[in-house]
């Protein structure tokens, strides 16, 4: 029997009937369904849904065995939290979009029930996505980023100086409001808003993009993904912010952060015909 775990945003009231249709289709396909307990209680208690055939999942993903796929119901923020929930397990994750653009959620909730046949038949592609591992500081939560790591000033501080090294060699001192270190997956997130390049998700690179640089000579930079980066943040304030995919830790000024590619990947499910060019054309209006 196929076993599927479901993780999702607790803002699903507008999609109640569509989620019900998806769960019904999974149950009729003889799928074992395990749902994150927060989503389960939101659907059952807050929205009053009956959930036949759906079991509450253990709090820790590692306590489940032999999960074939994880469904992430929500937007990109939900997908990032789903990736942290799955952790190192490597279970393929399919994003089902009930958010806004949904760069990482290629399947709409409208199409999800009909896609169950493809799931049960294994008729889909899986793309491994790299993550950035952070060392040298105790972070708030999971010390990995699927989108980006951001080192930025506190609200009350002036600009910071991010002194960066690559493989132990001095690279640059970024005088700016902050510095984004983005994965290829995250190149269409904060990096893009800050003027960084769009990168194909399979490219083995990392992007460094300053936020509101105080020098015309500071430009986004693409480096080898196997590089080891270190960044020491200096400034007039006492602390700066270290943010991994939206999870923020306040760090003493002068702390050096080490960053490198994680030794595992997040495996993203892509329906046939979906992928990077579709995201560019359909969601970013590339060449429109």
pLDDT value for 54 = 96
pLDDT value for 97 = 93
For the segment 141-154, the average pLDDT, to the nearest whole number, is 95
Q: Is the pLDDT of residue 278 over 90?
A: no
pLDDT value for 164 = 97
Query: What is the three-state SS of the chain?
Result: CCEEEEEECCCCHHHHHHHHHHHHHHHHCCCEEEECHHHHHHHHHHCCCCCCCEEECCCCHHHCCCCCEEEEEECHHHHHHHHHHHHHHCCCEEEEECCCCCCCCCEECCCHHHHHHHHHHCCCEEEEECCEEEECCCCCCCCEECCEEEEEECCCCCCEEEEEEECCEEEEEEEECEEEEECCHHHHCHHHHCCCCCCCCCCCEEEEEEECCCCCCCCCEEEECCCCEEEEEEECCCEEEEEECCEEEEEECCCEEEEEECCCCEEEEECCCCCHHHHHHHHCCCCC
216-231: pLDDT as tens digits: 889 999 999 999 999 9
pLDDT value for 86 = 97
Q: Is the pLDDT of residue 256 over 80?
A: yes
Q: Is the pLDDT of residue 288 over 70?
A: no
Distance CA 49, CA 42 (A): 9
Distance CA 71, CA 127 (A): 15
pLDDT value for 35 = 97
User: Whose structure tokens read 């789903």?
Assistant: 82
Distance CA 279, CA 265 (A): 21
Q: What are the two backbone dihedrals, phi and then psi, of residue 25, each rounded to the nearest 5 degrees?
A: -65, -40
Distance CA 202, CA 276 (A): 9
CA distances from 241 to 156, 158, 262, 276 (A): 12, 13, 21, 31
For the segment 12-31, the average pLDDT, to the nearest whole number, is 94
pLDDT value for 19 = 96
pLDDT value for 41 = 94
CA 171 to chain centre: 27
Tell me the pLDDT of the chain averaged across its residues: 93
Which structure tokens are listed for 256? Answer: 């050096």
- Of the residues 30, 45, 66, 76, only one is catalytic, namely 76
- Give the confidence band of 232 by pLDDT, cuts at 50, 70, 90: very high
Q: Give pairs for 20-25: CB < 8 Å, separation 24+.
A: 20/49, 21/113, 22/96, 22/109, 22/112, 22/113, 22/116, 23/51, 23/53, 23/54, 24/113, 25/113, 25/114, 25/116
pTM across the whole model:
0.93
For the segment 75-98, the average pLDDT, to the nearest whole number, is 96
23-60: pLDDT as tens digits: 999 999 999 999 999 999 999 999 999 999 999 999 89
76 catalytic per annotation: yes
Contact indicator for 198, 188 with CB cutoff of 8 Å: yes
For the segment 164-190, the average pLDDT, to the nearest whole number, is 96
- Give the confidence band of 140 by pLDDT, cuts at 50, 70, 90: confident
Distance CA 64, CA 36 (A): 11
Query: For the chain, what is the largest distance between any 2 Cα atoms, rounded to a whole number of angstroms?
Result: 61
Distance CA 241, CA 137 (A): 12
């Amino acid at each position: 029997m196929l076993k599927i775990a479901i993780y999702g945003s607790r803002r699903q009231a507008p999609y109640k009937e569509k989620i019900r249709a998806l769960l019904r289709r999974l149950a009729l396909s003889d799928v074992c369904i395990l749902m994150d307990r927060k989503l389960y209680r939101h659907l059952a208690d807050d929205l009053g849904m009956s959930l036949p055939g759906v079991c509450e999942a253990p709090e820790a993903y590692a306590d489940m065995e032999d999960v074939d796929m994880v469904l992430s119901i929500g937007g990109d923020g939900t997908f990032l939290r789903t990736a942290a929930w799955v952790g190192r397990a490597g279970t393929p994750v399919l994003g089902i979009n009930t958010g806004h653009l949904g760069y990482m959620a290629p399947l709409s909730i409208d199409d999800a029930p009909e896609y169950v046949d493809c799931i049960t038949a294994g008729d889909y592609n899986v793309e491994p996505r790299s993550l950035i591992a952070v060392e040298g500081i105790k972070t708030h939560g999971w010390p990995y980023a699927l989108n980006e790591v951001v080192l930025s000033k506190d609200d009350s501080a002036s600009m910071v100086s991010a002194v960066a090294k690559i493989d132990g060699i001095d690279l640059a001192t970024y005088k700016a409001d902050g510095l984004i270190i983005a994965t290829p997956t995250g190149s269409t997130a904060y990096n893009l808003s800050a003027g960084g390049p769009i990168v194909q998700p399979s490219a083995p690179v990392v992007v460094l993009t300053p936020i509101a640089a105080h020098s015309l000579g500071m430009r986004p930079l693409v480096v080898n993904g196997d590089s080891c980066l270190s960044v020491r943040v200096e400034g007039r304030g006492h602390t700066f912010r270290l943010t991994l995919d939206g999870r923020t830790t306040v760090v003493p000024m002068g702390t050096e952060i080490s960053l490198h590619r994680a030794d595992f990947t997040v495996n993203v499910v892509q329906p046939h015909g979906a992928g990077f060019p579709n995201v560019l054309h359909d969601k970013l209006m590339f060449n429109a």
